[in-house]
Amino acid sequence: QKEVEQDPGPLSVPEGAIVSLNCTYSNSAFQYFMWYRQYSRKGPELLMYTYSSGNKEDGRFTAQVDKSSKYISLFIRDSQPSDSATYLCAMIYTGTASKLTFGTGTRLQVTL
Amino acid sequence: DAGITQSPRHKVTETGTPVTLRCHQTENHRYMYWYRQDPGHGLRLIHYSYGVKDTDKGEVSDGYSVSRSKTEDFLLTLESATSSQTSVYFCAISALGQGGTEAFFGQGTRLTVV
């Protein structure tokens, strides 16, 4: 079983829809959670970063962490065609040698 | 943008030849990572480093070695390239333990082994 599970999609939504992207994880030691956006043939770019359970909002994006359920989410409000990309969750625990572990990514297509 | 440079950006090599990819950072971050990205597999960790000369294996380390003799450079070597190592390789850096945790990525290296 992978440490981080993410539905690969693809997920297709109409412009203006609310998008929900999710990851589950098995390692309770993970403390920091990130969401990356990756456009085709580009490197991943950091979108959101959270530490504790709860919500964090940045413009149209909200990151949610539920450590008790080992479940994280990214919500995109008023989705735009420019949001079409692959979204990857990532997580890490602190320690001497900490690995940054990714989900497989969810491909999102926002249609006009 | 975080100061990360990968070189080369593209490379075609023959099976059995050694290949070295370079990741250079100007951020003085402690952690550096090498990932490969393949369709259906996402980003898979090859090796990572948590300091000069401190490295550890990731989930797909077979056939790869790394070296970090300076904070700013992290080299990934394919000792004898195989077609299964055709992939896009990404380097990432993180200031974990230095007041930051987020990881930032380079532009990627597209490697083709023929």
Judged against a pLDDT cut of 70, whether residue B1 lies above it is answered with no
Whether residue A98 and residue B58 make contact (CB cut-off 8 A), yes or no, is no
Question: What mean pLDDT comes out for the span B87-110?
Answer: 86
Distance between CA atoms of A5 and A105, rounded to whole angstroms?
Answer: 9
Across the interface, of B31, B42, B104, the residue whose CB is closest to A105 is B42
Distances (CA, A) of A86 to A11, A60, A106, A110, B86: 10, 17, 5, 11, 21
| CA–CA gap between residue B102 and residue B114 (Å, rounded) | 36
What element of type H or E holds B51? Answer: strand B42-51
Quick check: B13 and B111 in contact, CB under 8 A?
yes
Confidence class of residue A3 from pLDDT cuts 50, 70 and 90?
confident
Q: What is the pLDDT of residue B53?
A: 92
- Which chain B residues are closer than 8 Å to A43 by Cβ? 90, 105-108
Model confidence at A2: pLDDT above 90: no
Task: Give CA–CA dist A19/A50, Å, rounded.
Answer: 19
Mean pLDDT of A29-56: 90
- Looking at every residue in chain A, the average pLDDT score rounds to 91
Q: Is the pLDDT of residue B42 over 80?
A: yes
Residue B96 has pLDDT above 90, yes or no: no
Number of helices and strands in chain A (H, E): 0, 11
The residue count of chain B comes to 114
Q: What is the rounded (10 degree) CA torsion for B41, B47, B49, B50?
A: 60
Task: Give the Cα separation of A63 and A55 in Å (integer).
Answer: 6
- The minimum CA-CA distance between B41 and chain A, rounded to whole Å, is 6
Hey, CA dihedral for A75, A81, A83, A88, is it positive or negative? positive
The pLDDT value given to residue A96: 57
> Shortest CB distance from B102 goes to which of A49, A88, A94?
A49
> What is the Cα–Cα distance from A65 to B47, expressed in whole angstroms?
28
Interchain pair B97, A94: CB under 8 A: yes
Residue B69: its pLDDT value, please? Answer: 96
Average pLDDT over every residue of B7-11 = 97
Would you call B63 an interface residue with chain A, using a CB distance cutoff of 8 Å? no
Task: Confirm if B111 and B22 have CB atoms less than 8 A apart.
Answer: no
Nearest neighbour of A104 by CB, restricted to B41, B48, B90: B41
Mutant choice from B37, B41, B48, B59 vs A, greatest count of A C-beta within 10 A: B37
Residue among B42, B45, B101 whose CB faces A32 most closely: B101
Strand ranges inside A29-103, DSSP E: 32-38, 45-50, 54-58, 61-66, 71-76, 85-92, 101-102
For residue range A84-106, list pLDDT tens digits in order.
999 999 998 776 567 788 999 99
Q: State the best of A30, A98, A107 to mutate against chain B, taking most chain B CBs within 10 Å.
A: A98
State the pLDDT at residue A20: 96
Q: Is B100 on the interface with A (CB under 8 A)?
A: no
Residues of B with CB below 8 A from A99's CB?
45, 48, 56, 58
Q: Determine phi and psi for A25, rounding to 5 degrees.
A: -140, 160
What is the spatial distance between Cα A66 and Cα A40, in angstroms, rounded to a whole number? Answer: 30
- Mutation for B interface: A99, A101, A107, most B CBs within 10 A: A99
Cα–Cα–Cα angle for B86, B88, B89, nearest 5°? 110
